Structure 1
Amino acid sequence: MNHSNRPLRRRLLAAVSATLLATCAALPPAAFAQGEPVKIGVLMPTKSVIGQQGQQGAELAAEMINDQGGILGGRKVQLIVYDSNFQPVEGVAAAQRLINQDRVKFIAGEISSTVALAVLQIARANNVLFMAAVPKHPDLTKSGYDKVFRLTTTLDADSEYFDRQLLERVKPQKLAVVAENTDYGRYVIEGSKKRFGDKFVAGETFELSQSDFSTLMTKVKASGADTVCIVAGKPEQAANALRAMGTVGLQARKCTATGVLNNQILRLAGDAAEGAFGSDIYVSTRRNPLNDEFVKRFQAKHGHVPEKVEVLGFESVWLTAKAMAAAGTSTDTAKVAEALHKNAWATPRGEIRFDAGGQSQARDYVDFVAKGGKLTASQ
């Protein structure tokens, strides 16, 4: 064996190594991250219909951004999705896993106000940016934390609008509210009690695991209510409640809290939903370039048009990623939060801004009524 070339080979290897080290040292830190995916954590109650709606919207946002070439020099957006299961304990555990295990600095999504309020504390303790999609409790954007944002309207705004519609257009003499036993549901009941006074005749709550509403609706029937308003985050529970009204022979006008009534409920409830009315902040027919593309892509992928929950899930990821791009960072949550606060943002709902607390500024509401298995804008 010829050993005479070993010193030469060693010198060549040393020279190559030194050159590589010098080249790497000259590169900016971002160059090492080039090509690495940008992680965004997503919390949703993924076993439920509404959670799946939100997840579908979030996933389409990442897909559309990646199809456009990604962000921050071509990096792809990678979603890490965990099930929060409508339970604060599970939501907190999922958030901690995202932060400690997956090293995520940005969390998007969520449906439940109770879960979101618990996750907010974890986000705050870890300097994580939290872009909440659907939670409505006002306290979420009154915490003083400058890295929490909310895309949907608040319960205060929804209740004020819908109660005004009831008072001016429906004029119930005896109102009953049937609500989920959560911060959200209890908040609506208390607000309706104050606004309707003696005309508020019943406020009943149900558990998130409940599927049989016949006993509850029998109690509501005994109250003599002429209008029953259903407050349910889960479409399957709203549908079961509507069916139970027919089962027990409760002849009353059917309404849902703002943001509840959607096509999923109509599909699940069938004829029992006929005549139900409500309102929301999004319709798929809204015309702007981003909504046109969003609706087209969503319908091609899922076979039906998106609704409010899908669009809010979409926006939670879309705006988080777009703000990272505007701020020029995937790690500095303060810079991304600053970008979100100071800019206007294009969304499928139109242009939105965030106030100092992180609350998005709402557009006009749209009123709906269920007719012939479809939601029709009411006049």
Structure 2
Amino acid sequence: MVADDTEPNRRDVLRLSGAAGLAGLAGLAGCSTTDDPATDTATEEPNGGGGGDGDDEETTADDGGDGDDGGDTGPYTIGMVDSLTGSLSAFGQRNQRGKDLALADVNEVGIGGRDLEIIVEDSESQSQAGVSAAQKLVNQDGVPFVIGAVGSGVSLAIYESVIQGTDVVQLSQNSTSPDLTDFPGLLRMSPTGSTQSTALANIIGEDGYDSVALAWVNNDYGQGLAETFREEWDGEIAYDQPHDQGQSSYSSTVSGMANSGADAWLFITYQPEFTSMAQEAYSNGYEAQFYGADSVQGSDVLDNTPEGSLDGMTIVVPSAAVDQDNYQAFASEFESEYGESPTSWSAFAYDCVVTAALSIATADEFTGAALQETVRDVTRPEGEEVFTFAEAMEVLGEDGSPDDIDYQGVSGPIDFDENGDPVGFLQILTVEDHEYVSSGTIEG
């Protein structure tokens, strides 16, 4: 399966897909929905057929996405719920860049001569907006596969309100809360945050501290990582309090941590919230050894905190497989296109798209039920290791099965387990001269 010479070149595809993704691509036409959004299921016959026996529990969607019968030449259309705005928008931007690179790679080869399109909807980094976005994708656009979301609470709300009880596949690009392990129907590309909490407990102890002040954001992400940390930490937790997102000040959190007497402070929160805390700690002259989970790290944090105020901080983040050739090729293309290095979040989004495309390529039909049968298998270790979409399609040929391939993502081996969790890697970062420096990796 190769790209037609008359198709746009890769960079043209990338730019077109990026513009279309953020604006929201045209949805699948001919979609019917039930009155109950929580039980609606999108299906599509491979040759543009209808709903077969007319069962009211099954909805149908056209192949072409252009309002006509489409045949089998129109694009395959899936959905994505991302944080385009709100407190997690920095992650959303990284997701979009990874998604666009993956779409370009997929559409350069094609899926049986057809393109892949992704309708992107904004969760606004909030659960209710995320649910509304997913309802639109599933019930109006009729997509059988949803990538989403960033925040663990948003992903779980989407699953419980929209996906659960249907055949629609949900694959989260960035959610790390340990609580998601309890929902095996909700797949995720980034490893569970429980590995972060365990690593942080070990690192803080190895650094010689026996007392810690713990500040965590009051949602599924913060609660899950904080709970695991408590289980793994052998010392004293002198301060253990939640905080809400989007507060104008976190002075009470910072003063509480300072008054606890703990010399090690652990932040399980998001970039805007941590930035405010770090600013307030610095302005009040508080000194402590800072530690953080993945969501406190980012260029925006460094840009908005005083020079040197974070030096010595240690952060544990999910890591891509930076030593693999396919990651290095991805990173090179990313840097060429965007003028900066990718993060693991971009790599996770990239792999979500490629995994979705391979699921479609190996499914008997473009339906949620059929994709449920293939989405796990295309990354299983029983198949032949493939490192790119093009390589995978070459191995599959005209009649390959999902068991024939083991997609090794740019983020590393995926190998979804029975709980929908992937194999993962963690990277240890320290802040030196107000820059993030890698100081080691841990296999999750």
**Deviation larger for 117-126 or 254-263:** 254-263
Matched to 1:135, the amino acid is: S
TM-score, normalisation: structure 1: 0.83
Q: Do residues 91 (structure 1) and 130 (structure 2) align?
A: yes
1-structure distance, mates of 2:209, 2:428? 17
Partner of 1:59: 100
3-state SS in 2 of match to 1:273: coil
Q: Cα–Cα, structure 1 residues 290 and 313, in superposed 2: closer, same or farther, change >3 Å?
A: same
Matches within 5 A, 1:46-195: 46-47=84-85, 48-66=89-107, 68-71=108-111, 73-121=112-160, 122-145=162-185, 148-167=186-205, 169-195=206-232
Partner of 1:248: 284
Partner of 1:17: none
3-state SS in 1 of match to 2:423: coil
3-state SS in 1 of match to 2:280: helix
How far is the alpha carbon of 1:305 from its aligned partner? 0.6
How far is the alpha carbon of 1:337 from its aligned partner? 2.7
How far is the alpha carbon of 1:227 from its aligned partner? 0.7
3-state SS in 2 of match to 1:360: coil
Matched to 2:99, the amino acid is: A
Matched to 2:94, the amino acid is: Q
Say how many residue pairs are matched: 343
Contact 2:189-2:414 within 8 A present in 1 as well: no
3-state SS in 2 of match to 1:175: strand
1-structure distance, mates of 2:283, 2:345? 29
TM-score, normalisation: structure 2: 0.72
**Deviation larger for 257-266 or 82-91:** 257-266
Over the residues paired in the alignment, what is the CA RMSD in angstroms? 2.3
Contact 1:255-1:277 within 8 A present in 2 as well: yes
Matched to 2:166, the amino acid is: N
Contact 1:214-1:247 within 8 A present in 2 as well: no
| Aligned mate of 1:322, from 341, 344, 358 | 358
Q: Do residues 41 (structure 1) and 79 (structure 2) align?
A: yes
1-structure distance, mates of 2:288, 2:154? 33
Contact 2:217-2:242 within 8 A present in 1 as well: yes
Contact 1:108-1:316 within 8 A present in 2 as well: yes
Contact 1:152-1:312 within 8 A present in 2 as well: yes
How far is the alpha carbon of 1:334 from its aligned partner? 3.1
Matched to 1:207, the amino acid is: D
How far is the alpha carbon of 1:238 from its aligned partner? 2.4
Matched to 1:226, the amino acid is: D
Unaligned residue ranges in structure 2 (runs of 5+): 1-45, 49-62, 64-69, 381-405
Contact 1:267-1:373 within 8 A present in 2 as well: no
**Deviation larger for 219-228 or 196-205:** 196-205
**Deviation larger for 183-192 or 353-362:** 183-192
How far is the alpha carbon of 1:128 from its aligned partner? 0.5
Matched to 2:198, the amino acid is: E
How far is the alpha carbon of 1:270 from its aligned partner? 4.9
How far is the alpha carbon of 1:79 from its aligned partner? 1.3
Matches within 5 A, 1:11-50: 29=47, 32-47=70-85, 48-50=89-91
Q: Do residues 356 (structure 1) and 356 (structure 2) align?
A: no
How far is the alpha carbon of 1:366 from its aligned partner? 2.1
How far is the alpha carbon of 1:223 from its aligned partner? 1.1
Kindly provide the CA deviation profile for residues 105-164 of structure 1, in whole angstroms up to 9, marking residues without a partner as x: 11003111111111112112331100111112233243343xx31111113222122212
Matched to 2:261, the amino acid is: G
Contact 1:141-1:150 within 8 A present in 2 as well: no
Q: Cα–Cα, structure 1 residues 351 and 184, in superposed 2: closer, same or farther, change >3 Å?
A: closer
3-state SS in 1 of match to 2:319: coil
How far is the alpha carbon of 1:104 from its aligned partner? 0.8
Q: Do residues 374 (structure 1) and 411 (structure 2) align?
A: no
Unaligned residue ranges in structure 1 (runs of 5+): 1-27
Contact 1:214-1:248 within 8 A present in 2 as well: no
Partner of 1:299: 335
How far is the alpha carbon of 1:182 from its aligned partner? 0.8
How far is the alpha carbon of 1:254 from its aligned partner? 0.8
Q: Rg larger in 1 or in 2?
A: 1
2-structure distance, mates of 1:326, 1:311? 22
Kindly provide the CA deviation profile for residues 218-245 of structure 1, in whole angstroms up to 9, marking residues without a partner as x: 221111120111112x323222222222
Q: Do residues 203 (structure 1) and 240 (structure 2) align?
A: yes
Contact 1:230-1:255 within 8 A present in 2 as well: yes
**Structure of higher RCO (CA pairs closer than 8 Å, 6+ residues apart):** 1
Q: Aligned residues: percent identity?
A: 24
